[in-house]
Amino acid sequence: MKLLTNIASVATVLSRWTIMVALLSFAADIAWAQQNRVLVPSGSFHSVMPEVEGEAVKVNTFYLDVTAVTNEKFEKFLDQNKNWQPNEVPAVFTNKGYLKHWKEEGQRPDYEDVGRERPVTNVSWFAANAYCQWAGGRLPTLNEWEYSAQLMDFDSSTEINEFTTKLVSWYSSVDTKNIGEVGSTGIKTRVGVKDQFGLIMEWVEDFKPPVADELSLDCGTVGRMQQLGNAYSYAASIRYITRMSYNPRSSTSMIGFRCAYDDIDSKFKLEEEEL
C-alpha cells in the first residue's frame, strides 16, 4: 500500500513536473510568438492591381511574422506533422521540387548546406498553408502582404527609386543557392517586419486572385499595373505577375513564406484546445 502510495506520489510529482514543463514550454511559445510576430496596424494602400481603380485598399489590423519561416522551424513542423514529410506528402499537394534541397538521409535538412536560419524554400502553397495553420495562423492575404511591404520610410523620391531599381535587379539575379539568413537583408518596415524584399519571394493566401483570369497575364498587364506611377509599381507588378503564374503545387528554390495571425494569442488558443 505504502509502495503504491509512493508510486502514486511519484506519479503525481512526475505528472506535475510534466505540466510544469509543458507550461514552461508553453510560456516559451508565447514569448516566441510575441518576439517573432508584430502588429501591423490597420490602414490602406494603393494596390497595383487594377480591379478598383484609384481607390485605396483598406487592410485591418493583423499580426505578421517578423521574418520568413526558417528551415529549422519547418523541420519542427515536419516532426509533428509526418504527413508533410517529403516521402509522405501526397503528390496532389506538391510538385517534385518539394524540399529537394534537404538532401540528408530521410530528406532532413543538412544545416551545413542549407542553414538553420535561412528561409525554407521549395515549399508548395499547400505546405505553407498547412504550416501556418499548425502555427495558429494563416498565410497573409495578398493585400496584407503588399500593404505591410509598403510601410517603409524613405527620405526622398531618389531614395525610393534607388531602392526599386535595386529590387528589380535582384529579381533578375537572385542566387537561390546562396540565400542569406532571415533578417540579413537589412530591409525592415517601420513596424519591424524584415526582408519582405531581397531575400526570397513569398506565398500569400490568395496569390492567384479572381482578377488573374481577366488579366490573363497578357503583355498589357505590366502597363495596367503601373497606372499609379508609384515607384514601387514596376517591382510590385513583377511580384504580382510571377505569383499569378505559379500554381499551388509549385515548389521552387525562390519561394518561401511567413505567417499572419488574427490575434496574438492564436498560438496559445490552439495549444489550449490540444491540451
Partner 1 sequence: MNISKITLSFLIGLLFTGLANFAYAQTEEYKLDGMTFGMPEAEVFTEDYDGPPVVGEYLTMLPNLKPLDYEGNKHHEVRIDIVAQEIEVADGVKYKAWTFGGTVPGPVLHVKEGDKITFVMKNRSDEEVTITEPTKEGSPFMQQVAENNFMKAQPGTMPMPHSMDFHAGTVAKDDKWRSISPGESIKFDWVANYPGSYIYHCGTPSVLMHTAMGQHGVVVVSPKDGYGTDYEVDKEFVVVQSEYYLKKGAGDLYQYDFEAAQSVNPSHVVFNGHQTILHDQPLEANAGDRVRLHVSNNGPSGTSSFHVIGAIFDRVWLEGHPFNEMRGMQTVLLGASSSATIDFIVPEEGKYILIDHEFADAEKGATGTLKAGPRK
- Which spans of this chain sit near partner 1 (rule: CB under 8 A)? 92-93, 95-97, 125-126, 129-130, 133, 138, 165, 168-169, 171-174, 176-177, 205, 208, 213, 216-219, 221-222, 234, 237-238, 241-242, 245-255, 270
E strands, the chain, are 37-40, 43-45, 57-59, 62-65, 201-202, 255-256, 260-261
User: What is residue 42's DSSP assignment?
Assistant: -
Q: Indicate the residue among 40 and 212 with the shorter CB distance to partner 1.
A: 212
CA dihedral sign of residues 87, 65, 32, 42 = negative
Q: Indicate the residue among 174 and 228 with the shorter CB distance to partner 1.
A: 174
Q: Give residue 78's identity as a one-letter amino acid code.
A: L
Q: What minimum distance in Å lies between the beta carbon of 32 and partner 1?
A: 20
CB 49 within 8 A of CB 225: yes
Q: What minimum distance in Å lies between the beta carbon of 134 and partner 1?
A: 9
Cα separation values, 81 from 30, 63, 92, 136, 222, Å:
21, 24, 17, 14, 40
Question: Could you tell me how far CA 33 lies from the centroid of its own chain?
Answer: 14
Q: What minimum distance in Å lies between the beta carbon of 164 and partner 1?
A: 9
Q: Indicate the residue among 66 and 202 with the shorter CB distance to partner 1.
A: 202
Q: What minimum distance in Å lies between the beta carbon of 254 and partner 1?
A: 4
Q: Indicate the residue among 188 and 249 with the shorter CB distance to partner 1.
A: 249
Q: What minimum distance in Å lies between the beta carbon of 246 and partner 1?
A: 5
Q: Indicate the residue among 13 and 211 with the shorter CB distance to partner 1.
A: 211
Q: Which of 275, 267, 272 is nearest to 134 (CA)?
A: 267
Q: Report the distance separating Cα 212 and Cα 234, nearest Å.
A: 17
Q: Report the distance separating Cα 271 and Cα 135, nearest Å.
A: 10
Q: Indicate the residue among 100 and 188 with the shorter CB distance to partner 1.
A: 100
Q: What minimum distance in Å lies between the beta carbon of 121 and partner 1?
A: 9
Q: Give residue 126's identity as a one-letter amino acid code.
A: F
Q: Report the distance separating Cα 242 and Cα 38, nearest Å.
A: 27
